[in-house]
Structure 1
Amino acid sequence: MRNRSAVDTIRGYFYQFDLSILSILQLGALEDSVEIECIEDIDIRTATEVTATQCKYYAKTEYNHSVIKDAVKHMVSHFKESLLGTKPEVSYSIKGHYASGQEKLDGGVDVNFLKKHFLTYSKGKSSSKITHYHHTDLGLSDADLGEFLKRLTIDVRAKEFDEQYREILDAIQKNVGATQFSAEYFYYNNALAVIRELSIQSAPADRTITKKEFLARINTSTVLFNEWFIEKKGKKAHLAALRKEYFTELNISPYERFFLVEVNPSCYVRSDLKDIFFQLAKKWAKLSEREPSPFCPYIYVHGVSSDELIALKTELILEDFKIIDGHDFQGADFSYRSIVRKATHGNEIKIKVLNTLLNIEQTVSAISTTRRIYQFYISNSYFDYDDPAVRHVKIQVENLSDIQSII
């Protein structure tokens, strides 16, 4: 069982990432921007001001002033430098979610409260502790601290983890007009990847993104196998959701379905790939005598050699698993007319094998009925078909077993 403290730490990271995503989505103008971990966790830049925001997520902890003391001291130090002109003038924000204790700030924060609870601290052993006054060390007057408080906002009743997550999905739907599924599995999944990438950049300029750029970068038609998204959802739940969205149909329509499967050479086992063939034929072929419009799926395997593909086909034929691949005799060129011929109960064609990416394009283009392409890839997408009439789903996976779980 995973250590509880580790789980809490991970949720804390997600909470900060989620707040970054939500902050971008809630920007008023497309040219407004967010900077990740610059002055604070999140710096929000609009046309008129910059707000440095630090967030805390302690769902099982009571709020105490000491929890945010260091954050306040750091902000006061930055404020001092802004008075000297060595740092930019900004606003400051602290957001936190706690199990209890929020009422300790219900009376508000004035200058005396600020000095007593946030800027006064002790150092040393119990017998020789020395009290320090951070504002005094910085040479700040009460008037200076009053000005600082005008720039400071503290919210110790920030949204709970799941509530904030739901707010993100709602904001995505409002910004891009997405469905609930695409908001989570396309846009939010991609958003996590973008925020993660920004957060590890060394230069502040490379950790900055406008709302316009952010919306463009998360708007892809690919389901990423993003390790952070998988950590949050759980791999089993992730695969199950993809199966429910794309591969659960009560009455399977006689569409022309193309399954593009990538093999990881480092862990390839022929029997695993054969199982994919069997599974596709079992679920996505209808060849009974009573079927008015019989059909079977197409498959393309990416990442195996021609010799291995021939060996696989040979095994399938020897096991009376009938396939065709668009080559009518030895040495014949590929013919889309050959491979698009109808599978029936009589000819027992269970699956149609496409040997090259060009064969896929030729075949898809030759068909005028409903077509769907399901591409499973490991690292990078390897096939694009730009036709709005063709549904093309791209799903990143780790291995063949993931594909089996999805289809």
Structure 2
Amino acid sequence: MSNRDATDTIIGYFYQFDHSISKLLELNRNEDSITIEGIEDVDIKTIDEDTAIQCKYYAKTEYNHSVIAKPIRLMLNHYKEVKLGLKTSVNYYLYGHYKGGQDKLILPLTKKFLKENFLTFKKDNILHSHHDELGLEDHDLDDFITKLTIDINALSYDIHLENILELLEVQFSCSRFEAEHFYYNNALKVIKEIATKTDVSEREISKKEFLNKIDKKQLLFDEWFVRFKGKKKLLSSLRKEYFTHLNTSPFERFFLIEIDKSNYLRSELKELLFLISRKWSNLSKREPTPFCPYVYIHNISQNALIELKKDLYRENFRFVDGFNFYGASFSPKSLCVTANYENKIKVKIINEIEHFDLILDEISNTKEIYQFYLQKPYFNLDNEGIKHVSIRYENLNDLKEIV
């Protein structure tokens, strides 16, 4: 498959995901639900009716009747099962975006047009009349047409996504960044997970359940969101939103960094500490309230942390860790000492996550916590007065592009 074909395929998947997301957000009642890839791509269940939706995106393809003929025949198959009492009656909705050629479809749909263009076809040089093979009469086709809606002028991918982000902004009273990076990001993950369930009963989700699942203000480095956004652009947008260095305020900033202890280089970790210190410290004589960052490294072994500190000490990189002398107990006051031009403290290292409450209680200044995790957050803070941002990441080099 060429890169262009692969990109088109990915966009097609996103378009179907987005359609499911928008349909959930547009449901009138929290109890209403949809089923992902049930009868069709999306099945909608409300108090008033059930609807089966086939959703396709062909931005580079001209519309031809053959493109939607098979989906219509599959819908007719379901209609026949309804007549036999095997399935529940639904309305059918065919939704698609095409490069052009929409004028070929004449609406409203007639029985004659339906038969000639969608139900009659050749396979292996044999002419098939799908309605006849199903044993359906003309009055059945008339009834089927009343249940079928075809829209081949669906929104483009970009406009569709824009509408979703606007719906999310309204739903959660949030900024565009939050709508995209928190809620849309989470929504993609939820829809993707539901779509992969084998049992169709597990692929149903109500609007209420969906909103609860996506209402999480943590940045997921989800593979689908990375594909949607592009990794470089994603890292850049995170940096712009949270880590712009201009007009840095003298806050007490905590950088919590989880490492894969079996797959990291101490040299890379040191480079990251140097970068964080350089960007988020101000020890100038002219700074009235000098400051430097706190760093906690999650999953690092005690011996590895000691070796890291030895390197920092040898390289004359001044730090404190809350222990005043060999054998001393941890002192939050010692760790929270003000960094300045005279003592040249460039970073404050937190050895154990259990020390956090003591440290936060010791500090009266504005505090901000940035937690970077590999799979799931490892630090929870129940304090709305402290800014706490959780970001999932893949490797240490990614963090160098963010902070």
Q: TM-score, normalised by structure 2?
A: 0.98
Please tell me whether the aligned partners of residues 41 and 54 of structure 1 are also in contact (alpha carbons under 8 angstroms): yes
Structure-2 residue corresponding to 1:269: 265
Q: Does 2:184 match 1:219?
A: no
* 1:99 is the counterpart of 2:65: no
Letter in 1 for 2:191: I
Q: Distance in 1 between matches of 2:126 and 2:193?
A: 43
- Provide the C-alpha distance between the structure 1 equivalents of 2:359 and 2:389, rounded to a whole number of angstroms: 17
Query: Which residue of structure 2 aligns with residue 74 of structure 1?
Result: 74
Cα distance in 2 for partners of 1:365, 1:19 equals 47
Q: 1:145 aligned to 137, 141, 156, which one?
A: 141
- Preserved CA contact (<8 Å) 1:361 1:385: no
The 1-side partners of 2:278 and 2:324 are apart by: 25
1:202 to 198, 202, 216: 198
TM-aligned CA distance change 1:90 to 1:107, over 3 Å: closer
In the other structure, the counterpart of 2:358 is: 362
Cα contact 2:20–2:42 (8 A) shared by 1 = yes
CA distance in 1, matches of 2:126, 2:258: 65
- CA shift, 1:142, in A, is 1.2
The residue that corresponds to 2:388 in the other structure is 392
The equivalent residue for 1:349 is 345
More displaced 10-residue stretch of structure 1: 106-115 or 24-33: 106-115
Classify the secondary structure of the residue corresponding to 1:265.
coil
Q: Tell me how far apart the structure 2 counterparts of residues 94 and 362 of structure 1 sit (CA, whole Å).
A: 60
User: What SS does the corresponding residue of 1:131 show, helix, strand or coil?
Assistant: strand
Structure 1 residue corresponding to 2:177, chosen from 178, 181, 203: 181
Letter aligned with residue 376 of structure 1: F
Which whole-Å CA distance do the structure 1 matches of 2:356 and 2:239 have between them?
Answer: 23
129-138 or 148-157, larger mean C-alpha shift: 129-138
Unaligned runs of 5+ in 2: none
2:376 alignment partner in structure 1: 380
Who is 2:398 aligned against? 402
Distance 1:340 1:62 in 2: 66
In structure 1, C-alpha distance between the alignment counterparts of 2:378 and 2:358, rounded to whole Å = 16
Kindly report which structure 2 residues correspond to 1:98-177, keeping only aligned pairs within 5 A, or say none. 98-124=98-124, 129-177=125-173
Which range is displaced more, 69-78 or 362-371? Answer: 362-371
Separation in 2, partners of 1:85, 1:107? 30
Note if 1:279 corresponds to 2:275. Answer: yes
Match of 1:29 in 2: 29
Aligned with 1:166: secondary structure?
helix
Query: Aligned runs of 1:258-337 on 2, under 5 Å?
Result: 258-337=254-333
Whether the aligned pair in 1 keeps the contact of 2:41 and 2:55 (CA below 8 Å) is yes
State the one-letter code of the partner of 1:102. Q
Residue 190 in 1 paired to residue 186 in 2? Answer: yes
Q: State the secondary structure of the residue aligned to 1:296.
A: coil
Q: State how far apart, in whole Å, the 2-side matches of 1:267 and 1:157 are.
A: 50
Query: Are 1:46 and 2:17 an aligned pair?
Result: no
Q: Distance in 2 between matches of 1:64 and 1:396?
A: 44
Rounded to whole Å, the distance in 2 between the matches of 1:249 and 1:283 is: 7
SS of corresponding position for 1:243? helix
Relative distance call for 1:33 and 1:259 in structure 2 (3 A) is: same
Q: For the residues of structure 2 that align with 1:326 and 1:298, how far apart are their CA atoms?
A: 11
Distance 2:108 2:62 in 1: 18
| Partner AA of 1:8 in structure 2 | D
- In 1, Cα distance between equivalents of 2:2 and 2:89: 43
Normalising to structure 1: TM-score of the pair?
A: 0.97
Equivalence for 2:55? 55
AA partner of residue 326 (structure 1):
G
CA displacement at 1:267 relative to structure 2? 2.4
RMSD: 1.1
SS in 1 for 2:262: helix
Quote the offset at 1:2 in angstroms: 5.6
Measured in 2, the distance between the counterparts of 1:205 and 1:401 equals 42
SS of the aligned residue for 2:154 comes to coil
* AA aligned opposite 2:323: H
* CA–CA separation in structure 2 for the residues paired with 1:200 and 1:130: 36
**Consecutive unaligned residues in structure 1, runs of 5 or more:** none
More displaced stretch, 360-369 vs 243-252:
360-369
| 1:41-99 deviations in Å (ceiling 9; x for gaps) | 00011111111001111101000000000000000010011111101100000101000
Give the structure 2 partner of residue 235 of structure 1: 231
Which AA in structure 2 matches 1:333? S
The answer to whether the 8 A contact 2:245-2:279 is kept is no
